Amino acid sequence: MKLHEYQAKDIFAEAGIPVPESRLASSVDEVMEAVEDIGYPAAIKAQVHVGGRGKAGGIKIAMDEDEARQAAEDILGMDLKGYTVEKVLVEAGVDFENELYVGITMDRSEGKPVAMVSTEGGVNIEEVAEENPDAIAREHIDPAFGLHPYQARKVVFEAGIPRDVAFDVASFLSTLYDLYEANDASDIEINPVMITSDRDVVAADAVMNIDDDALFRHDDLAAMEEDSYEDELEAKAGEYGFDYVRLSGNTGIIGNGAGLVMTTLDLVDYYGGTPANFLDIGGGAKAERVANALDMVFSDENVDSVVFNIFGGITRGDEVAKGINEALEQFDEIPKPVVVRLAGTNAEEGMEILNTDLVQVEATLEDAVQRAVENAKEVSQ
């Protein structure tokens, strides 16, 4: 579960990390009330789960009332990388001299969390990692003992953080790890950490992602779940209990098992298509669950075709086939061409059940993906 910036900043502030004064607003009038209280300059920031908000026009600095009103009118309701902006964070401007990056994530290759610090803040950290990896200092953390204070200081100094603010930045990092561990986070970062002209250290942005499977023991975070959804599809995925990620392509993908879905995504890309989503219906999926998955993918206006990739283990092929038939029979006309590949438990029975007037059937995954990509290209022409 991804938290919005305003949600993460509330948690950071409660833990003692300084953040700029801010107010959440969902209308132009609310924005104007907020800037009147906060003063100028003020940042008006779209609250959506996408990177590069500033470059896409989702963050604007207002120096006076006219600029604030114009920014609010421009940002509220705008389409930002496929998401409609319904809320903005109105935040006091920060007079800064330097921008840094600090964060904690899981290094799966090492099986440990890793603390990261860089003097190249305010930009996409993935780009920094690719183009200039030496600009990021790293320190792995033994989860049995946590982040020791000396480790926080070590990685901060290795990153080249100025000495007069290094201990404050190390304190930020230690607090982030405490929040990471206490809240079962998968990622937590501040980008940028701003160093002001008075040499104060301020969290100008906040990212915090929570492990969905741990929400049962965090009632306070679970209460934020509804507000964390970006659109109706994500809300619907949460309601259905699906593992779902919306992407920017036009080939919808449904499978049972994360590895199988990822393989299908890779093949769509390999054969010249663009994946529209990651949707894992899980093991043991019954007909109703399969029908819900199809309903979700059909609801995505970006999807031009669908590939259904099922390998029967716990999930029986005949149950999947029933779900596909039930879902498609609800439509007077099938909204998107559907290609199905079934293998494994009861796959032959499922193939016999499938209504081939409604779906296209392929024996291999490669053939199914190629056909789905071709269907998407034909529809989009």
Residues with active-site annotation: 101, 189
| Burial tier of 326 (Cβ tally within 10 Å: 0-12, 13-18, 19+) | middle
54 is in an annotated binding site: yes
256 is in an annotated binding site: yes
88 is in an annotated binding site: no
CA atoms within 13 A on the CB side of 50: 23
314 is in an annotated binding site: yes
110 is in an annotated binding site: no
The continuous run of DSSP H or E covering 346 comes out as: none
Counting every residue, how long is the chain? 381
Q: Which of 3, 2, 54, 6 is nearest to 34 (CA)?
A: 6
99 is in an annotated binding site: yes
191 is in an annotated binding site: yes
Do residues 75 and 60 lie in contact, with contact meaning Cβ atoms separated by under 8 Å?
A: yes
117 is in an annotated binding site: no
Q: Which of 253, 244, 239 is nearest to 310 (CA)?
A: 253
315 is in an annotated binding site: yes
51 is in an annotated binding site: no
Do residues 304 and 251 lie in contact, with contact meaning Cβ atoms separated by under 8 Å?
A: yes
52 is in an annotated binding site: yes
CA atoms within 13 A on the CB side of 174: 15
Q: Which residues are annotated as a binding site for Mg(2+)?
A: 191, 205
Question: Binding site for substrate: what residues are annotated?
Answer: 256, 313-315
**Binding site membership for ATP: which residues?**
45, 52-54, 91, 94, 99
Binding-site sequence positions: 45, 52-54, 91, 94, 99, 191, 205, 256, 313-315
